[in-house]
Amino acid sequence: MINYVNKEGGMDNYLSEVETLLHRFKYADITSRDRICKFPGRAYIQSVIDSIHDPTVIIDREHRVLFVNKRMRETAQWADFTKSPLFCYEVFSNSKKPCCGKNTPCPLSSVLETRAPVAARHSHHEGLYHKKFTDVIATPVLDEAGAVLHIIETYKDVSDYSELETSLRDSELLYRSLFDQSGDAILILRGEGSDIGRILSANNAACDMLGYSKEELLRLYITDLDTPEHAAKAPKRIKSILEGETLRLEITHKKKDGTT
């Protein structure tokens, strides 16, 4: 999966260290369009990327590795860093060919096309049952004409976060299954805001009891279903529930056909 990085979409933490690096690139007055290793500021650039916490490489447009930070060297113990040329997929994936496909998409072509930061999520199996997820954040270094000169790739292990996402998704599916299969009618209401009392969700039993489809119920408020006597008391009851009180009530609701 490849995403175009949007700061307003919550990628600030991913980009902060890389933006600092880009700023220092400019400060180092790097002007050559040849490989970065020819620049007089090589030692300075190396010290900068070594300060980045996550494994990071700087590559050219052909996947060739120009710089590797200390964290990447510690992580990619299989890589021969004396080899030249050394390619990013050899360092990151221990592979002989560029990353591709759904599980290991390569962000390089998207960066070259858009000249903007791109994020790609990689998944790898570690052992028989464990799956590792890594976010690859590729940020372009542009020349004075705006063309992509080099790419900074940072690799962030998000396995724990991804497993949490999966657990939450599984829990939601289980909850939804129990919710829909319950023999009791259940309505979930909005408890705050200007549309307090609006129906947010309804299970199958509620639809059957009231004669509405789920789509129809989600356009209603609980007061639309209450008889006038109970509708007048609904706001106070909702307030009591939000304050932690448990209520057991007998309430008459109106069905879609007007009966109670």
Q: Do domains 2-159 and 180-260 have the same CATH topology?
A: yes
Is the CB of residue 83 less than 8 Å from the CB of residue 76? no
The pairing of beta strand 148-157 with beta strand 2-4? unpaired
Sheet containing 2-4: which strands, arranged edge to edge? 2-4, 118-126, 130-142, 148-157, 56-59, 65-68
pLDDT tens per residue across span 137-180: 999 998 888 899 999 999 988 877 656 666 777 778 877 888 88
Q: Which CATH fold topology does 2-159 show?
A: Beta-Lactamase (3.30.450)
What is the percentage of the chain residues whose pLDDT exceeds 70?
79
Q: Is the pLDDT of residue 228 over 60?
A: yes
What architecture is the 180-260 domain classified under in CATH?
Answer: 2-Layer Sandwich (3.30)
Q: Is the pLDDT of residue 41 over 60?
A: yes
Q: What is the mean pLDDT of residues 233-259?
A: 88
pTM score over 0.85: no
Domain residues of the chain, as ranges? 2-159, 180-260
- For tokens 């549309």, the residue is 195
pLDDT tens per residue across span 43-54: 888 888 898 889
Which of the 8 DSSP states describes residue 175?
H
